[in-house]
Amino acid sequence: MFIDSRLGINLHIGFSAKATGQFYNPTALLDTFERQQSARLMPETSHEQFMHYLWADRMAYQQRERPANQIPPAIRAAQPVPDIWLNELGKRWALQFIQENPGQAVALSGKKFASFWGLEQRLYLYAYRNNFFGEIHLIWRLLGIFLVLLPFPILVLMAIADNCREQGFSHTRWLLLLMPITYFTAIHSVIFGGARFHFVLIPLLALMAANAWSLRAETLAMLRGQSKAPQWRRVCCLSLWFGCLLIWAWGQWQARGDWQAFFSPGAHLVPANF
């Protein structure tokens, strides 16, 4: 994600006045480029009229038509938006935002971290709100929520417990399991978060959770403070568990409007776009 021509665009999504910690469409970058083209090619025409001509020309091209009488010749010189240009502008805007709003930038990174490790309920809510399954009784909806959301917290909590065991941490584990998790977490704490981005880490979490289950006697002894492991490991495990619960609770609180709509009568007939 850092070694391509979209780093600046991603940084702008993550650090701007509109940033929420999650992905959004950065229309301001495209609008800036089109306004520059409008001023260069058709200075006597309003930006809105220029965009009307531009989209008409593009649609005509897609349909293999060229209505020359309706579209000014200057439109032919309009260029597609270059990724490199958007990248440089997005990077410049993002760095400027960070310099002018350092406190807000830090807060946004925290939101991105929490969003990355949050629960992914949007797919379930989107599918039901857009009538993928038809109307479902409330009891079955609640059961579906637990089936969709519960596996991820179980994996995370068990993976944390596995790493806090006396023999849970090693250089091999760090290189093969924890380093990729740290890498993806760091990237999405900088650009933008979103629960769907942690899906790639689920196999790694599952490996650690399976190990915790296979050594559950040792894991439970550590949690109860009855093992030979230093006490700080137990404190660390419980603290991380508590932090995860706070993150998940915060995420559901942020989505409370979506949940209210989900449980309202006729929710499956009210399309939603998340």
Rounded CA separation 189/10 (Å): 11
Nearest residue to 226 via CA among 168, 166, 167, 169: 166
What is the per-residue pLDDT for 187?
92
Please tell me whether residues 132 and 56 are part of one structural domain: no
What is the per-residue pLDDT for 1?
47
DSSP 73: G
By the 8 A CB rule, do 74 and 68 touch? Answer: no
Which residues pair with residue 193 across a beta bridge? Answer: 22
**Residue 2: CB partners within 8 Å, gap ≥ 6?**
187
Which residue range forms the structural domain that includes residue 235? 116-269
What is the per-residue pLDDT for 74?
59
What residue type is assigned to position 22 of the chain? Q
How remote is the C-alpha of 112 from its chain's centroid?
A: 7
Which residues pair with residue 22 across a beta bridge? Answer: 193
Q: Is residue 2 part of a domain?
A: no
Please tell me whether residues 87 and 120 are part of one structural domain: no
Domains of the chain: total: 2
Please give the model's pTM, rounded to 2 decimal places.
Answer: 0.80
Please tell me whether residues 53 and 122 are part of one structural domain: no
Q: Which residues of the chain, if any, have pLDDT below 70?
A: 1-5, 41, 47-81, 166-171, 174-175, 272-274
What is the per-residue pLDDT for 123?
80
Q: Is residue 108 part of a domain?
A: no
Please tell me whether residues 130 and 212 are part of one structural domain: yes
> What SS3 state is found at 228?
coil
What is the per-residue pLDDT for 131?
82
* Distance separating the N- and C-terminal Cα atoms of the chain: 23
Nearest residue to 162 via CA among 107, 239, 220: 220
The residue among 100, 125, 151 that closes a domain is 100
